[in-house]
Amino acid sequence: MPARILIALLAALVLVAPAYAKRETLKVVVAEPYIEMHTGPGRGYPVFHVADRGAQIEVLKRRTDWFEVRTDRGVTGWVRDAQLAQTLQTSGEPLVISDPGWDDFASRRWETSLSLGDFDGASSISLTGAWRMSANLSVELLAAQLSGDYSDGWMAGLRLVHTPFPDWRISPYLLLGTGVLTISPRASLVSTEDRTDQYGQAGLGLRAYLTRRFMFRAEYTGDIVFTSRDDNEEVEEWKAGFAFFF
């Protein structure tokens, strides 16, 4: 049975591959006196060819800020985005290269972040995924791994994040959350049992829009762990990291 699935997949791939290969490429016409072609996608790579005004070039692919192009003479090289933006499309319109920017940031729907921090003395690595319901409010899922000197653990939770000033480039946010926390003592210690408890948290954070799809995030939260013992445990937590939206 797996062999059959494999054959079916291969057949699908064979059928799809030519369609993929035949995809139409973007063709532009050089409008400036010339356009410089570099040997690689980076500023240090030497210019080895120039395409003159009126030459038609085919845009093959993009890697970060660089575009791989092929001239009508068959020379392939890399062109910086700013230079390619000065070419014209075959219809005569100028070529518009769109990069995600502030407008996309303001209208973002999904956001994901990765941060490092401290959870009551233990190191933490957290991953979040958020869905923005409105300009101010978003729901966020969190998973974190904690490693301390005497124990390590996991956290998984749901948070409600409120951003009072979404138009600010550096904007504070408030959060409320809850979830479960599992702590297991180090194997080298005289073993006590793993504990899984519910926690509630409230916190304050800062989100700064950096560039394109990227943001910097830092936050401080106060957590209350509802233990099965007599006292609830209070934990302070801070973290900082990068986020990107899509």
Q: Does 25 bind another protein (CB under 8 A)?
A: yes
Shorter beta-carbon distance to another protein: residue 59 or 161: 59
Shorter beta-carbon distance to another protein: residue 78 or 173: 78
Shorter beta-carbon distance to another protein: residue 83 or 163: 83
Spatial CA neighbour of 177 closest among 192, 190, 160: 160
Residues 53-82 that bind another protein (CB under 8 A): 59-68
Residues 101-130 that bind another protein (CB under 8 A): 114, 116, 122-123, 125
Could you give the string, one character per residue 142-181, with x where binding to another protein holds by CB under 8 A and - elsewhere? ---x-x-x--x-----------------------------
- Near another protein by CB under 8 A: residue from 188, 190, 193, 228: 188
Shorter beta-carbon distance to another protein: residue 19 or 187: 187
Shorter beta-carbon distance to another protein: residue 65 or 104: 65
Binding site for another protein (CB under 8 A): 23-26, 39-45, 59-68, 89, 91, 114, 116, 122-123, 125, 145, 147, 149, 152, 186-188, 212, 214, 242
